[in-house]
Structure 1
């Protein structure tokens, strides 16, 4: 009959087996015993916490980690059934896997904090490089390098510690097999009893199989992601306007300059949150007064974005394509297809020059051609010589003035359809620009002084309330830039459609699951708004709480119908 496994600690301290400081265990056996017990306890705590810890920061509570998980009990049963060598190999494999899932939980925490959803194991890998770019743009190259190094070190440390922890427990069970078997049986019985009787502490079930459910959910999401391509391929080719003659498209807007303008992170929270609502409401009222003084009227509603926190390009493509673009793979598939977009339908008519004002683009953007834009002005082609404002390359007021100089203000031109991305309200909202006299914009160097007067993002992000305050100011700046531009340069043939692309990060939204964004149509010609009278939208720039809520992918076809030959 086989005896207990040899104690690796004792073997390490045997004479002649290990040189140098390893001999301290033999010289100080009492201290060695304390260390052995302490490391075993810490290993057990590590495994239990790694199993129990949720993948969302807002769900980490004392009750969430003071529970009895079933998975370590099952692992103990498997390890006890294996011979010594196989048990050690199995422990390392199980520990490494536990470490990988722990890292995945850490990543999920970050994604929930920014995108209000977990990391997608199929589609989200490219977003990691985007995250590194955001850190660089917000905190500089050194900040990016330190962040990447920190992530790599943390990743390796978690894997190593996790593997060593399970190995330590496996060795301990091998040395004290009878005690380990008895303890495992007792814990298994306790788990079954508590689970069957639904024993709870603080409304939280004591016996849990949360880790298994976490893995099952992950496996299901991977399966769904792999099958999503087939689902989307079918949707891609369903387009009610694909065969419509060009002379029958958008006839209700012929001769008008049409601007589709996205305000970064302009979400419903800006209007509904009591901490921001008074100031935002005042800004919208001032904008209404400004537009009415210039002869404009407006109507507003709600659209539900496919994303929240980030992923603006997914929202833009959803709005323009009429398809629900919820992940990067759908975006790639869309932008390499022949699916028409709202902007490309304007181009198809031949009645508009189509342009893009995209100050957030700082490198090659081949997808731009897909959206049907005759000419694209990125951050390097707007004439801006001023500073970045954290991530934002060009302040909104300057972007709009550049559009005026480069396109809208030209004489004897064709009507323009413009897609304009206003980026000043992009996370981290610090520092932000403020409105100045339009005549003083020049080449943008005036913004160096304005940036120096702004806040420091590292200081702002120490306080959630300060983050919300800076976010609110950034949205106000974007709204003021847009309504002042319309008052200054708009005319009878100007039609503005502006909307938010998504809600801001959960730090601002306080974790709400709502994904609504405001959308508004502004025009001086009453016939333009008459065509959407049956939409039930609210008069003015602020949509009423009970205004219609549509998913963002439905807007394209509704808009095409409203401004087609037959009207709304």
Structure 2
């Protein structure tokens, strides 16, 4: 007990100076305020103004990057008027609690608007509260793979701190404004009445500034929009599960699947971010068109012919797996929930149809896969080679684990070039055109590829990702170079290793992000079939696709989920539906 008493005595002794220091500091602050009343009033007023700007900005904040314009913040928010009336009506303690909760809600609403902006820029759609939290982890992995672990960790910590800071600062700002209103209750009440009258008048008359209504309910509209997405998502789950069970070719016997392609080695290749902008954008198109024309001529000289059209992708800017699964399953898979439902169903994918027929071996070349990939079974792939199984010893090119030329050469060495009893169906994912398009690989002599170490110097001399990402014009230029590289690598592989029985189908998975496309609603991607056997192309004469590697502007445009059924039908498959 004496020891305990001595400890308490010492702790009390330690606290006394702290209290004295705190008292002295407060005294000095009071003296400073008394000595400089004008400065004190200016600081106080500045604090009030900043609090008002923060709250009004949060209430009027758009959820798209193009909407971040000054004229979007010149409206009268109904939520501010309602909030002011409630703050004026409440006694002190409930007022402070309500103000803090109201401000915290505004902070969370601002976070949601920022997420909407980010998702719209990268994926062409807003943030889904039910489905998209997992994509934040994918985004972190992308930053880590593209720019390094330190940048990724710093970005993650910064994002969390920003979100917390927004919630706290908004709560403090709203409490401060509530106190100001309470101190000037009479004038504040009159102001709220006038503002409410003006809002109702503007709403009734439909008054606008720069095409936008003066009377705003932007915050409430954001909440309604998020709630609508949640409800639609929950309703969609059951409906889509039933749709996935209904398959026009689900019960087709093996001998009636793809009979007109028997004996052919078929390659289905996806080129990352190969979108319509590659052949439409005035800055990008000349280089890509030259590549398509020259490579088309080279293939024609080697005896190949091609036909090209357009598919409208189910995704935009990213989430490539949604484009892959949509085109191969015949289902419109535009979100992660649908993807999970589809990949856990018995839906027959195009690649699985080749395996089910019993006439092909099937293989997947997946340089972008860096962890367990259970979807291989759903895709019907007997063998899958991921990034760790191709023998690559060279550098990464930003997100891409290896250049497309190396991945194709590894495909030749590991599978395509081997003697086999049955032909081969291959799904190949080419990743060199993945954002941020820096550094971009260069083609080298195929004989010099080795284990990929030859790319060390090319990667070192390439452009820095952060430099390209910061400039939209440079992003467009480097994106065009990456598409030209991927198309060149694939067509040179075909020219070098293809045979009379090789058929290549290559297509884009989605358009690139808005930094390249602008904020277009177009989701079209090119799709091309190349073969030597004229019967292969005659089978799709009815599609009216454009001869060559570049689809004409007026070539047919199909939704991507139509491709599976059209392809199966064109090459002799007979529908035998299953019904959910």
The TM-score, its normalising length taken from structure 2, stands at 0.93
Give the one of 214, 225, 248 matched to 2:222: 214
Alignment partners' CA distance in 1, 2:359 and 2:109: 55
| Structure 1 residue aligned with 2:12 | none
| Structure 2 residue aligned with 1:495 | 503
CA-CA distance at 1:399 after TM superposition: 0.6
Alignment partners' CA distance in 2, 1:298 and 1:33: 76
SS of equivalent to 1:393: coil
User: Contact 1:25 / 1:32 at 8 angstroms: preserved in 2?
Assistant: no
| Root-mean-square deviation (Å) | 1.5
| Structure 1 residue aligned with 2:17 | none
Give the one of 69, 92, 117 matched to 1:61: 69
CA-CA distance at 1:54 after TM superposition: 0.7
Alignment partners' CA distance in 2, 1:201 and 1:348: 61
Give the one of 22, 25, 36 matched to 1:21: 25
Q: Which sits farther off after the overlay, 81-90 or 264-273? A: 81-90
For structure 1, list consecutive stretches of 5 or more residues without a partner in the other structure.
Answer: 1-15
| Structure 2 residue aligned with 1:322 | 330
| Structure 2 residue aligned with 1:159 | 167
| Structure 1 residue aligned with 2:155 | 147
Give the one of 428, 449, 462 matched to 1:454: 462
| Structure 2 residue aligned with 1:541 | 549
| Structure 2 residue aligned with 1:190 | 198
Alignment partners' CA distance in 2, 1:193 and 1:336: 55
Alignment partners' CA distance in 2, 1:247 and 1:390: 44
Give the one of 56, 65, 78 matched to 1:70: 78
Distance 1:333 1:430, change over 3 A: same
CA-CA distance at 1:566 after TM superposition: 7.0
User: Contact 1:43 / 1:166 at 8 angstroms: preserved in 2?
Assistant: yes
Give the one of 349, 355, 366 matched to 2:363: 355
Distance 1:177 1:473, change over 3 A: same
| Structure 1 residue aligned with 2:314 | 306
| Structure 2 residue aligned with 1:515 | 523
User: Contact 2:256 / 2:574 at 8 angstroms: preserved in 1?
Assistant: no
Distance 1:66 1:22, change over 3 A: farther
Alignment partners' CA distance in 2, 1:138 and 1:216: 36
Per-residue CA deviations over 1:221-256 (Å, capped at 9, x if unaligned) read 111011110110121111111111101110010010
| Structure 1 residue 345 corresponds to structure 2 residue 322 | no
CA-CA distance at 1:105 after TM superposition: 0.9
SS of equivalent to 2:453: coil
Alignment partners' CA distance in 1, 2:42 and 2:437: 51
Q: Which sits farther off after the overlay, 115-124 or 19-28? A: 19-28
The TM-score, its normalising length taken from structure 1, stands at 0.95
| Structure 1 residue 505 corresponds to structure 2 residue 509 | no
User: Contact 1:276 / 1:469 at 8 angstroms: preserved in 2?
Assistant: yes
Alignment partners' CA distance in 2, 1:200 and 1:20: 55
| Structure 1 residue 250 corresponds to structure 2 residue 258 | yes
| Structure 2 residue aligned with 1:13 | none
Alignment partners' CA distance in 1, 2:74 and 2:25: 38
Per-residue CA deviations over 1:70-128 (Å, capped at 9, x if unaligned) read 11001111121211111110111111000001011111111111112111111111100
Per-residue CA deviations over 1:311-360 (Å, capped at 9, x if unaligned) read 10011011111101111111111111211111111111111000000000
| Structure 1 residue aligned with 2:124 | 116
SS of equivalent to 1:46: helix
| Structure 1 residue aligned with 2:103 | 95
CA-CA distance at 1:23 after TM superposition: 3.8
Deviating beyond 6 angstroms after TM superposition, the runs of 4 or more aligned structure 1 residues are: none
| Structure 1 residue 266 corresponds to structure 2 residue 274 | yes
Alignment partners' CA distance in 2, 1:411 and 1:349: 20
CA-CA distance at 1:203 after TM superposition: 3.0
CA-CA distance at 1:20 after TM superposition: 4.2
Distance 1:328 1:562, change over 3 A: same
Q: Which sits farther off after the overlay, 273-282 or 491-500? A: 273-282
CA-CA distance at 1:169 after TM superposition: 0.7
User: Contact 2:245 / 2:345 at 8 angstroms: preserved in 1?
Assistant: no
For structure 2, list consecutive stretches of 5 or more residues without a partner in the other structure.
Answer: 1-19, 576-580
Alignment partners' CA distance in 1, 2:540 and 2:457: 44
SS of equivalent to 1:504: coil
User: Contact 1:503 / 1:509 at 8 angstroms: preserved in 2?
Assistant: yes
SS of equivalent to 2:148: helix
User: Contact 1:257 / 1:495 at 8 angstroms: preserved in 2?
Assistant: yes
CA-CA distance at 1:565 after TM superposition: 5.3
| Structure 1 residue aligned with 2:284 | 276
Alignment partners' CA distance in 1, 2:28 and 2:510: 61
User: Contact 1:271 / 1:280 at 8 angstroms: preserved in 2?
Assistant: yes
User: Contact 1:236 / 1:323 at 8 angstroms: preserved in 2?
Assistant: yes
User: Contact 1:115 / 1:307 at 8 angstroms: preserved in 2?
Assistant: yes
Give the one of 174, 181, 185 matched to 1:177: 185
Alignment partners' CA distance in 1, 2:286 and 2:357: 43
| Structure 2 residue aligned with 1:234 | 242
SS of equivalent to 1:511: coil
User: Contact 1:461 / 1:467 at 8 angstroms: preserved in 2?
Assistant: yes
SS of equivalent to 2:494: helix
Residue-pair matches, total: 552
User: Contact 2:252 / 2:574 at 8 angstroms: preserved in 1?
Assistant: no
